[in-house]
Chain A
C-alpha cells in the first residue's frame, strides 16, 4: 500500500534540495534569456525579425526546448539515486519504513515539480512579453506549448531517473545521460534524414508510417509532433516533421499515448530496477 504522506515527504525534500542548487537557477536564467532572444531574432531563418506572430515564435522556442529542457532534466535527475548511494545517505533512507517504490515516486514527483517550475518560469516571462504584443486569444496556444515543454522535461527526467537507478556511480550516470542527450538531440534525426537521403526516399520499407514510427522512439521528436498537432499554425515551419502530416503521425490520441508512455515506461522500469537493486 502506497503511503502518500511518505511520498510527499520525499518529494518535498527532493524539491528543497534542488531549488537550493544554484546551477538550476543559472539554467532557468539561460532559458529565459534565450527564449526572449529567440522570440525576437529566432525567426531570421524564415526571413523575419522582431516578434513575428505567436506561431513562428513558438516554432523557434521549440528548438530551444529540444536542446535545453532535456539537458536540465538530465542535470536534475542523473544523480537522484546514485548520488544518495555515493553520499552514503541511501542506507538510512532504506532503513526507514518507506518502501522503495515510495522513495522512487517521491523523488520523481519532487523533481517533476522542479522542472515544471523551471520551464514555466523560463517561458512564462517571455510569454508575458510576447502576449502583450499579441492577441490574448493566443494565450491558449502558448500555454499548450509550455505544457508540452513541461511534458518533454518530465519524460527526460523519467529517463534520467532510470539511468540513475541502474548505474552504480555518478560518473557512470552522467556519462550515459550525456550520451543519450547527444544521441536523441543531435544524432537521431540526422540518422533518419541520412536514411531518407541515401535511399532517395524510394526504398520499399520507407514510408510515412515507418518514419513516423521511428520518430516516436525519440521523446524529443514526440514533443515536436505533439506540439505541432495541437498548434496548427506550426506545421509550415518544420521540415521532416511537416512532411509527415498523414493521419498516422498526427493522430492526437496516439501521440498523447506515446508521450505518456515516454513518461511512465522509464519511470516504472526505473522503479522496478531500484526495487531489485541491492548493495
Chain B
C-alpha cells in the first residue's frame, strides 16, 4: 500500500520546501461529546514551484488542511512550517503576505463594486496601484463589470474576482480551495490557463478540486485524502504504476467479421493485456492493459486486424482512475 513516506522521495525535485507539515492532527468537538478527526498525522512537504492538487471526498480534510496553512484554523497537534517559520499557532504578517488564497466559499461585501473590492484588499496589503487592480481584473475577464456591485456578480465572476484579489500582493504561494466550483466549462479552462500562467512564473500552487480531468495536466503532484489521512501522494504516472491501474481500449470490427476469442485469450496469457470482454452482438472487444504495453499492443492489433478493424479507442488512465481506486476502497471500508 502507498504510504506518504514513499511520496516524500518522489517529491524530491531538488527545490527547497516552502511548506512542511509535521504530524498535523486536527480534531473537532461535535455535539454529544464526540470528536471528529478531520486530519490524522499529516506529514509531507510542498516544494517551491510545484502545483499540488489535493483530491478527496467531502469531509476528507482538504479544506481543513488549506485553512491550517492560512492560519484560519489551528492544528490540534503537530507543526507546520512555511518558508522555515513555524506557523502552527499563529501566522506572522510577513508570511501571510506571501500567500494568496481563494476560500471554498467566496463571498465579498455586496455593497462594494469589483474595483472597490480590489482597492479594499489592496489597501489591506499595502498595495495602492490602481493600474495594477485594473490589469488583474482584465486578466480574469471582469474589467467591464468592475464598477458593478459585487452583489450582482455570478458565482463564477466572484471566483474570478477572488483570483484577482489573491494576486494583488504577488504572493509566492497560492492556495485555492475548490477554485473552479460554480464555473462554466469555459471559465474552468480559463482558470486552468491562469494557474499555468502563475506556475510558469515560478509560483507554488496548492489547490483542492473535484474536477479531476481538468487539473490533471497542470498538477505536478496529487495528494489523495481519505477520512483525514493521506492515502497517496505523488506524480500521476508514478501513482498509476504503483497502483497497477490499467488503460482501456475498445476495438470495433467491420460488419461480417468473425471474432476469434482465442487470440485475446492468448495475449492475456502472455500478459500483453490484463483482461478482455468480447461483445459479439456489437462486434467489439473491450480490453484492459498496462500503459507500458501500449505500443506493443497497438502494433499487434494493427498487424493482425488491419483489414477488419473499424475503429479503436484507447483511454489512458489518469487522476480519475487513481481517485476512483481509493474511493472504492473507502466505500468498502465504510
Binding site for B on A (CB under 8 A): 3, 5-6, 9-10, 13, 16-17, 20, 87-89, 91-99, 275, 278-279
Contacts and interface: CB of A to CB of B under 8 A. Distances in A.
7 closest Cβ contacts across the A-B interface? A88-B107, A95-B101, A91-B103, A96-B124, A9-B123, A98-B124, A278-B73
Given A3-B126, A92-B103, A99 B109 contact: no
A229 B170 CA distance: 56
Contacts of B126: 3, 5-6, 97
A92 B111 contact: no
A104 to B, nearest CB: 14
A89 B169 contact: no
Interface stretch (B64-72, B137-145, B208-216, B315-323): B64-72
A20 B71 CA distance: 32
A96 B105 CA distance: 16
Interface string B87-123: 0001001001101110101111101100000001101
B111 to A, nearest CB: 6
B124 A88 contact: no
Nearest to B109: A89
A131 B72 CA distance: 53
Contacts of A5: 123, 126
Nearest to B123: A9
A91 B120 contact: no
Given A9-B120, A98-B124, A91 B72 contact: yes
Contact of B162 (A92, A97, A275): A92
Contacts of A279: 67, 72-73
Contacts of A6: 123-124, 126
A136 to B, nearest CB: 42
B188 to A, nearest CB: 21
Contacts of A9: 120, 123-124
Given A13-B120, A89-B109, A279-B73, A96 B103 contact: no
Contacts of A92: 101, 103, 106-108, 121, 162, 165
B288 interface: no
A9 B71 CA distance: 22
Label chain B's interface by main secondary structure: loop
B74 interface: yes
Nearest to A16: B111
Given A91-B101, A97-B97, A279-B67, A20 B123 contact: no
9 contacts: A6-B123, A6-B126, A88-B105, A88-B107, A93-B124, A95-B96, A97-B93, A97-B96, A275-B90
B125 interface: yes
Contacts of B166: 95
B93 A99 contact: yes
Contact of B169 (A3, A97, A275, A278): A97
Contacts, number: 71
B178 to A, nearest CB: 12
B316 to A, nearest CB: 37
Q: Which of A13, A97, A279 has the most CB of B within 10 A?
A: A97
Contacts of A89: 107-109
A39 B18 CA distance: 67
A75 B198 CA distance: 44
A96 B99 CA distance: 9
Contacts of A91: 67, 70, 72, 101, 103, 105
Nearest to B105: A88
A98 B124 CA distance: 6
Given A95-B70, A96-B124, A98-B124, A88 B99 contact: no
B107 A278 contact: no
A95 B99 contact: yes
A10 B74 contact: no
Given A92-B165, A95-B70, A278-B73, A17 B109 contact: yes
A149 B293 CA distance: 83
A262 B103 CA distance: 37
A94 B125 contact: no
Contacts of B105: 88, 91
Nearest to A20: B111
Contacts of A20: 111
A94 B100 CA distance: 11
B245 to A, nearest CB: 36
A92 B99 CA distance: 12
Contacts of A98: 124
Contacts of B72: 91, 94-95, 278-279
Contacts of B67: 91, 279
B238 to A, nearest CB: 32
Contacts of A99: 93
A88 B103 contact: yes
Given A20-B111, A279-B72, 18 more contacts: A3-B126, A5-B123, A5-B126, A13-B109, A13-B112, A13-B120, A17-B109, A88-B103, A89-B109, A91-B105, A95-B70, A95-B99, A95-B166, A96-B125, A97-B96, A97-B125, A97-B169, A278-B73
Q: Which of A9, A10, A99 has the most CB of B within 10 A?
A: A9
Nearest to B100: A95
A278 B123 contact: no
B70 A94 contact: yes
A91 B64 CA distance: 12
Contacts of B74: 278
